[in-house]
Amino acid sequence: MEAWRNVNRETLEVDVLIVGAGPAGLSAALRLAQLQKQQGGEPLSIAVIEKAPDAGRHQLSGALLDPSTLHELIPEYESKGAPLGTAVDNDNIYFLTQKSKFRLPITPPPFQNHGNYIISLSHFTKWLASQVEAEGIDLFWGFPGQHVLYEGSRVIGVRTGDRGLDKHGKPKGAFEPGADIHAKVTIFADGVRGHLTRQLYSDLQIGRDAEPAQFAIGIKELWDIPKDRLKPGTVIHTLGYPLRQEEFGGSWLYAMNDGRISIGFVVGLEYHDPLFDPHAAFQHFKRHPFITRILDGGQVVRYGAKAVPEGGWNTQPKLFADGALIVGDAANFVNSTRLKGIHLAMRSGMLAAETALAAVRRNDTSSNTLSAYKSRVDASAIKTELYPMRNVHQSFGAGLIAGGAYAGIAMFTNGRLLPDWHGHAGHRVMRTIEKYYGLEKRDILVPSNAAPIDRKITFDKVTGAHYSGTHHDEDQPVHLLVQTDVCHSICGSEFGHPCVKFCPANVYEMVDDGTGGKRLQINASNCVHCKTCDIMDPYQVITWVAPEGGEGPSYDGM
Amino acid sequence: MILVIAEQKDGKLNRASWETIAAAQQLSGGAMPITVAVAGERVSGAAGELAQAEVTEVIAAEHAALAHYTPDAFVQALGQVIGEVKPALVFFPHTYQTRDFSPTLATKLDRALVTDVIGVKQTGGTPTFSRPMFQGKLTADVQAQGPAPHLVTIQIGAFRADAAQKGSSAAPIKNQPVTVDEGKLRQKPEAPFQEAKQAVDLSQAERIVAVGRGIKSQENIAVAEQLAKAFGAELAASRPICDNGWLPMERQIGSSGQTVAPKLYVALGISGAIQHLVGMKGSRTIVAINKDAEAPVFEVADYGIQGDLFELAPAIIAELQK
């Protein structure tokens, strides 16, 4: 081991460490502050670390906010200036074919959004962070957690990422080793496919008794269109084109004030076609006459992508361990039928805070004591909402019709009478080129659903990466670890380099290796931190780790 | 007693030395005597200046081997001064020079080193030092452990140089003989030099030939080099070329490289991803050479040539040389 790796690291001792300043982590922090105030006693030391350079920069969602949890966490949220955006005015669901659209005569209950708000999650998170900071809690922006620290099987904290390493991993002039933050309780709020929670999956086997997690990728753009085109508060969801029966997903289009719209496309990361490209599907969607008419003459202002944990209740991992709790997207708390998770993330953060505070006060943060968090979740609105829908996403694995029927029955019976449906991890259902296409010869470098790029309505991925505002110093170690030679040896013939297709930011490219073959080039500086590669790569050889603190997309209004 | 190590170059003291004296005076509050030492080849002038401060004594440690800074010579010389003076604390200005040698000195003496200190105080009679953590987000109070002396480096700008109190009369100056075993110096200093500005300053270039992925291989970079030479232009590149290490990173144009606006910009085999365009679209005249007629670079180009750069570049060179 190189000598500099043995550097003395700063250590910081806190009572509660929260990893990730999204809705879950910030709600946990705020709830801790509130409870301390109510209960009195020695104040806890609390730290929140976050890889984004400041509040909200890595937050992306549709987003429709169900304000139920917000009511409880911050009852006076209106007077405190919560950026609730635009109240939902009307709901519309369409089924698209290539040329036409059919409006669903009734809007199914999960899609009814009366009383909800169209928000920007990045703005909402920024506001939530200001509420936390007002309570005197330290928020450390630009400090990614990089390694979970253990003492035996007990989680004792997190080591933050090193700064100032060059692309070969050698210290540069301004090298600063990451610090060790030790905590009695660490709350993992590191988001969908959190890279630290993932360490808990492998080190503590927290997923052993859960269904395999299921994910989707959501790709989003903000547009400014002529102001009179859509009434603010209009909510449109579509199913169907350009997805086939075998792909699960759909679109959203939310109209906010001043002609600003949020438009996006979600595809389940369990598609079979190895050459399928979710970003291309989004472009086809925008080229549909119905959508083009809305966007025409408008301008794209932001782009981003993020994975969504869609598997539901049965995919939640073990939520606690010695010294650790898991909240929000990291624990897969999303209602994929309602396309909502912010309120669940917030609630799980609150419940974790209650558990953590009680445990620290008792001076017992063992798994046994922290298991109270699971009981709280089971007694909460999280279960009431997610349990009846626990099989819906899995059932769509059997196709749109079967899935739709199952979802319908689940809805009307409140989830009773139905057997549990077992899902498979998405990367395992991707088929090989030969299984999917037979022996027919194909150009594996081109997506099967390639879309024309006109740079007016449709854009290539590199342009998207630009609109995400993403930035990474080129002279640092690549933060996507691919330690294998399968990319140039067998992946081409087996799967046709699916990473090139599923990455929405052109991070992965197969380029000529100069000897007639192909080699993988990783454009890590394009990465928008969506985690799709970590999830969907069929060999599971891509590991997403945090780049230098403060880097990544720069979402504003997303 | 607090020993302050002042820093001079060519007989001139730096401001950080005075800041460090101010820090020592604050901690002492008049209760601990302060000695200032300055090392170099000839330091009597600097010692005379230091003697103006409200301190007990100034030590001038002179040796020919200290003319130009080397860590080994300074560790030897200052180690002797510390051994002679036997201070409780040694304060250094947190300069590049101190950062270079102080860890070695602390290791040689086997004493604690507290770096980057921004505040000093006494807590129940124990000197306590504040230093930033987490890039300045937090401040930690630390106390050094183990036998004296404890070594402390004072961050630049944390104390005000003009807060260093002057004495009513000049402090006595003592010449402290030091020996330097020159056989043990592992470094041989060259004459100091002013670091040249970045070798290539593309932002100043009037003409730039930038090469992109269309060049295909490292060997072909020569084609672009020749074209740049024929134009009298600097050579630059898009990200993939520098990422491959075919050209150094400082020649990269675009959002993660440099932004340029020359009179002439020739884009050779560059498709024109928006990340590249933001770095060069302010150029007066843009000439794009690309075999793909759909390449976005043609949208910003004043002159576009669709074709094979390996045919076009030699033809242009031949034309320019006529």
Q: Please count the residues of chain A.
A: 558
pLDDT in tens, A28-54: 999 999 999 999 999 999 999 999 999
Return the percent helix, strand and coil in chain A, to nearest 5. 30, 25, 45
Whether A223 contacts A263, CB under 8 Å: yes
H helices of B110-151, where? none
CA B62 to chain centroid: 27
B58 Cβ under 8 Å from any chain A Cβ: no
Determine the distance in angstroms separating the CA of A454 from the nearest CA of chain B, rounded to an integer. 10
Which chain B residues touch A465 with a CB distance below 8 Å?
Answer: 275
Name the β-bridge partners of A552: A471
Determine the distance in angstroms separating the CA of A484 from the nearest CA of chain B, rounded to an integer. 19
Q: What is the Cα–Cα distance from A28 to A43, expressed in whole angstroms?
A: 15
How many CA atoms does the CB half-sphere of A252 hold within 13 Å? 26
Q: What is the DSSP string of B176-235?
A: ------GGG----PPPP-PPPS-S--GGG-SEEEEE-GGG-SGGGHHHHHHHHHHHT-EE
Interface test with B, best of A466, A480, A507 (most B CBs within 10 A): A466
Determine the distance in angstroms separating the CA of A54 from the nearest CA of chain B, rounded to an integer. 13
Which chain B residues touch A472 with a CB distance below 8 Å?
Answer: 256
What are the strands of the beta sheet with B285-290, ordered from one edge? B234-237, B207-211, B264-268, B285-290, B303-306
Which chain B residues touch A523 with a CB distance below 8 Å?
Answer: 239, 243
Is omega for the bond preceding B170 within 30 degrees of 0, making it cis?
Answer: no
Which chain A residues touch B299 with a CB distance below 8 Å?
Answer: 455
pLDDT in tens, A222-234: 999 999 999 999 9
Interface test with B, best of A8, A10, A168, A478 (most B CBs within 10 A): A10
Name the β-bridge partners of A117: A65, A87
Considering only residues 126 to 185 of chain B, which have any Cβ-Cβ distance to chain A shorter than 8 Å? 133-135, 137-138
Determine the distance in angstroms separating the CA of B294 from the nearest CA of chain A, rounded to an integer. 10
Is omega for the bond preceding A538 within 30 degrees of 0, making it cis?
Answer: no
On the question of pLDDT at A552 being above 80, the answer is: yes
> Can you read off the two tokens belonging to residue A470?
């993403």
> Can you read off the two tokens belonging to residue B65?
């081997």
Residue B133 has its nearest CB partner, among A12, A455, A465, at: A12
Residue B134 has its nearest CB partner, among A143, A462, A514, at: A143
A367 Cβ under 8 Å from any chain B Cβ: no
Which chain B residues touch A138 with a CB distance below 8 Å?
Answer: 137-138
Q: Which of A253, A298, A279 is nearest to A96 (CA)?
A: A253
Which chain B residues touch A463 with a CB distance below 8 Å?
Answer: 273-274
Going from N- to C-terminal start, the domains of chain A cover 12-72+124-212+313-389, 88-118+215-309, 392-421, 436-448+460-544
A76 Cβ under 8 Å from any chain B Cβ: no
Residue B217 has its nearest CB partner, among A466, A471, A514, at: A514
CB contact under 8 A, A12 and B134: yes
Q: What is the Cα–Cα distance from B305 to B291, expressed in whole angstroms?
A: 8
Name the β-bridge partners of A428: none
Q: What is the Cα–Cα distance from A394 to A270, expressed in whole angstroms?
A: 10
pLDDT in tens, B72-89: 999 999 999 999 999 999
Which chain B residues touch A12 with a CB distance below 8 Å?
Answer: 133-134, 138
Residue B146: left (phi > 0), alpha (psi -120 to 50), or beta?
left
Name the β-bridge partners of B167: none
B220 Cβ under 8 Å from any chain A Cβ: no
Interface A:B, Cβ pairs < 8 A: 47
Give the DSSP H or E segment for A251.
Answer: strand A249-255
Q: What is the Cα–Cα distance from B57 to B84, expressed in whole angstroms?
A: 13
Q: Which of B299, B281, B214, B272 is nearest to A463 (CA)?
A: B272
B274 Cβ under 8 Å from any chain A Cβ: yes
Range A96-117 average pLDDT: 89
pLDDT given at position A408: 62
Residue A285: what residue type?
A: F
B115 Cβ under 8 Å from any chain A Cβ: no
Determine the distance in angstroms separating the CA of A514 from the nearest CA of chain B, rounded to an integer. 7
CB contact under 8 A, B256 and A525: yes
A143 Cβ under 8 Å from any chain B Cβ: yes
Considering only residues 163 to 182 of chain A, which have any Cβ-Cβ distance to chain B shorter than 8 Å? 176, 179
Residue B56: left (phi > 0), alpha (psi -120 to 50), or beta?
alpha
Which chain B residues touch A475 with a CB distance below 8 Å?
Answer: 249
On the question of pLDDT at A346 being above 80, the answer is: yes
Task: For residue A558, name the pLDDT band (cuts at 50, 70, 90).
Answer: very high
Residue A179 has its nearest CB partner, among B134, B217, B299, at: B134
Q: Which of B54, B40, B41, B52 is nearest to B6 (CA)?
A: B40
- CATH no. of A88-118+215-309: 3.30.9.90
pLDDT given at position A403: 60
Give the DSSP H or E segment for A348.
Answer: helix A342-362
The answer for residues whose C-beta is within 8 angstroms of residue A277's C-beta and 6 or more apart is A447, A448, A449, A450, A501, A502
A246-252 long-range Cβ contacts below 8 angstroms, 24+ apart: A246/A271, A246/A272, A246/A273, A246/A399, A247/A271, A247/A273, A247/A276, A247/A281, A248/A216, A248/A393, A248/A396, A248/A397, A248/A400, A248/A403, A249/A216, A249/A281, A251/A282, A251/A285, A251/A291, A252/A62, A252/A339
Q: Which of A474, A453, A472, A475 is nearest to A464 (CA)?
A: A453
Q: What is the Cα–Cα distance from A78 to A65, expressed in whole angstroms?
A: 14
Q: How many CB atoms lie within 10 A of CB A237?
A: 20
Residue of B nearest to A452 (CA): B294
> Can you read off the two tokens belonging to residue B148?
């004296």
Computed over every residue of chain A, the mean pLDDT equals 92
Residue of B nearest to A471 (CA): B256
CB contact under 8 A, B256 and A143: no
pLDDT given at position B139: 86
pLDDT in tens, A209-265: 999 999 999 999 999 999 999 999 999 999 999 999 899 999 999 999 999 999 999
Residue of A nearest to B274 (CA): A463
Residue of A nearest to B96 (CA): A173
Q: Which of A132, A186, A53 is nearest to A529 (CA)?
A: A53
CA A346 to chain centroid: 15
pLDDT given at position A1: 40
Whether B125 contacts B164, CB under 8 Å: no
Q: What is the Cα–Cα distance from A254 to A443, expressed in whole angstroms?
A: 37
Give the DSSP H or E segment for A368.
Answer: helix A367-370
CA B38 to chain centroid: 23
pLDDT given at position A425: 86
Phi, psi for A415 (deg, rounded to 5) = 85, 0
Give the DSSP H or E segment for B9.
Answer: strand B8-9
Q: What is the Cα–Cα distance from A80 to A77, expressed in whole angstroms?
A: 5
Range A266-286 average pLDDT: 97
Q: Which of A147, A127, A153, A152 is nearest to A73 (CA)?
A: A127
Which chain B residues touch A512 with a CB distance below 8 Å?
Answer: 216
């009431």: which residue's tokens?
A384
pLDDT in tens, A183-200: 999 999 999 999 999 999
pLDDT given at position B44: 94
Q: What is the Cα–Cα distance from B94 to B92, expressed in whole angstroms?
A: 6
Which chain A residues touch B135 with a CB distance below 8 Å?
Answer: 142, 176
CATH match of A436-448+460-544 with 3.40.50.1820: no
Domains assigned to chain B = 2-184 (3.40.50.620), 202-321 (3.40.50.1220)
Whether A321 contacts A200, CB under 8 Å: yes
Cα dist from B310 to A526, B22, B103, B223, B226, whole Å: 30, 67, 56, 8, 12
Q: What is the DSSP string of A204-247?
A: H-TTTTSPPP-EEEEEEEEEE--TTSS-TTEEEEEEETTS-TTS
Determine the distance in angstroms separating the CA of A465 from the nearest CA of chain B, rounded to an integer. 9
Q: With a cut of 50, which residues of chain B have pLDDT below it?
A: none
Whether B269 contacts B289, CB under 8 Å: yes
Whether A133 contacts A50, CB under 8 Å: no
CATH match of A12-72+124-212+313-389 with 3.50.50.60: yes
B278 Cβ under 8 Å from any chain A Cβ: yes
Percent of chain A past pLDDT 70, that is, above it, reads 95
Task: For residue A400, name the pLDDT band (cuts at 50, 70, 90).
Answer: low
B300 Cβ under 8 Å from any chain A Cβ: no
Range A335-349 average pLDDT: 95
Interface test with B, best of A525, A528, A551 (most B CBs within 10 A): A525
A471 Cβ under 8 Å from any chain B Cβ: yes
Range A107-136 average pLDDT: 93
Q: What number of H helices and E strands is found in chain A?
A: 19, 24
CA A23 to chain centroid: 12
> Can you read off the two tokens belonging to residue A409?
């029955």
